[in-house]
Amino acid sequence: MEMISTRLCLVTVGATASFERLIRQVLNEPFLAQLAKYHYTHLLVQYGKNGEKIWNEFNEKFPPGCEQLQGVTVGGFDFKPDLWRYMRMAVKEQNQDLGIIISHAGTGTILDALRLALPLIIVPNPDLADNHQEDLAVEMEQMKYAVRADIEDLITALDTAEAQAPEQLSRPHGPEDALTGLVSDQLQDVD
Amino acid sequence: MASPVEVFWELFWKILVPIAVLGLLAVSIIVASLFISQNATLPKVDRRGAPLHILIVLGSGGHTAEMLYMLNKAAFDPSVWAYRTYVTTSGDNFSANKAAEFEAKLGGGQHDSAAQRDPPADNLSIFERSPAEKENVKNLADKRDSPRDKPPTSGKSFRILEVPRARRVHQSYLTAPFSTLHCLWACLLILSGQFHGEEPLPSNHETPYPDIIITNGPAVAVCMMLAAKILRFFIFVSRWLTGRASAPEIARLRTIYVESWARVRSLSVSGKLLLPVADSFVVQWRPLEGRRAWPGMKKTQYKGWLVI
């Protein structure tokens, strides 16, 4: 039997702040159509604290296998402590095409995506008071590790991300013994 | 009968002025001791193989993830960082579990890495949308969280301690000072080895004080580093009073603050508060390099990314 290879788009909003606007944007026909255009087979959404209502609405409106899903299999959950396990499903492997991660500017997700060398779209949450996520997103885009996008521009951002191969992280980014060095700086050892 | 003006002046001289003088004195002592302790060079001391005790502060999700990234990257030698104390806040099982997992792997002699670990075989089951399946997945998750499957929270060379929260999300600013004091008190107890239910250190450790405190910015880090400074102040004063001020001694309770990797151009609130307090303040982006609390204080250091 021939195995069809999967291609995953994983969307995550993190555990602490809710980001309903991003969830609404991806659980929607235009975005699904865009995914289908680039031959994505799976969409997995970590919808966070207050996203369950949107997820349930989506489930009712678009039951599995319905036409509007355009052949994309959709899954969702509120939170998993081991999200990287699901991010691994976007790594290019046997029966797996290189997928993409769409993330609020959460540090953990960005670092995991860098480590797995996955394409990444960062959508900073404009509702958060502090704009340091925006700084990080801009910096990551300049370093070509990610595409920075506004919520409304997600579809164009996917076009951009598809057009460019992601920069591979030149590891390690800084000396490996930095932390242990800092600790020994604080000790007064005689040599 | 004194006129109201006279009453006012008497009040002014007898109460307000002394308070102001005392306040000014207290502030000068605090500023001076921060200044002195940040700029003092440590005398070389033979540690005579005294085992290192490292205290690592974990915070909410993001901070914990970053700290574990750092520990993984550092790949420290567990025989050099001989004893590790992890501090989490109450109700934060995620951090406690992560620390326990990390130690379990350390015991197994391997540092974990997302690129190496194997994914579970049932990954695709996450896409099942029928309620029955959902229930199943939930049961599995509950089982995985049951206590008997959890890695232990203390061992021969580590322990995980839980302090009360400094401030809950959405907590009123009226009650926040009290819970901050509560948290500070718990930190003082932990650092001096008096914390309720605290696992005792192995007998080869001379003092309950950790040698090094490493943190990256959750609210509890502010309490912990202030607690370390307060203890050091009292240790210094008592040495001075007993005439041992200049006798060389192993300095303990040294603090290392690593600003979150997510901070590119501005310091976090914890960072701003701890800039004059930390012995070593590390930033992970160039724009933050060389900042200091006020002229004459230590500058922040840039050491590349510590997280990856």
A2 inside domain: no
In which band, very low, low, confident or very high, does the pLDDT at B144 lie, cut at 50, 70 and 90?
very low
On whether any CB of chain B is under 8 Å from the CB of A177, the answer is yes
Identity of the residue in A85, A181, A182 whose CB atom sits nearest the CB atom of B119: A85
Contact B104, B153 (CB under 8 A): no
Instruction: Give the pLDDT confidence of A20-50 residue by residue, as tens digits.
Output: 889 999 999 999 999 999 999 999 999 888 8
Distance from CA of A166 to the nearest CA of B (A): 17
The average pLDDT across B225-232 equals 93
Contacts of B231 (CB under 8 A, 6+ apart): B188, B191, B192, B209, B253
Please check whether residue A105 lies inside any domain of the structure: yes
B44:A188 CB<8 A: yes
* pLDDT number for residue B127: 81
Is the residue at A109 inside a domain?
A: yes
Q: What is the pLDDT of residue A14?
A: 80
Query: Count of domains in chain A?
Result: 1
Closest CA to B219 of B308, B75, B95: B95
Amino acid type, A111: L
DSSP letter, residue B281: E
More confident residue, A176 or B129: A176
| Beta-carbon separation of A178 and B285 below 8 A | no
How high is the ipTM of this complex?
0.85
Q: Compute the nearest-CA separation of B216 from chain A (Å).
A: 12
A155-166 pLDDT, tens digit per residue, is: 999 999 998 876
Q: Is residue A25 part of a domain?
A: yes
Residue A23 near residue A13 (C-beta atoms within 8 A): yes
Q: For position A113, which CATH number holds?
A: 3.40.50.2000
Q: In what order do the strands lie in the sheet with B301-302?
A: B158-163, B83-89, B53-57, B212-215, B254-258, B280-283, B301-302
List the domains of chain B with CATH numbers: 54-113+128-302 (3.40.50.2000)
Query: What tokens does B81 get?
Result: 């960082």
Chain A residues within 8 A of B70 when measuring between CB atoms = 179
Of A116, A122, A114, A100, give the one whose Cα is nearest residue A14: A122
In a domain, residue A191? The reply is no
Assess if residue A99 is contained within a domain: yes
Cis peptide before A30 (omega within 30 of 0): no
> Is residue A3 a part of any domain in this protein?
no
Per the structure, the complete domain to which residue A78 belongs is given by 8-186
A64 alpha carbon, distance to own chain's centre: 23
A37 within a domain of the structure (yes/no) = yes
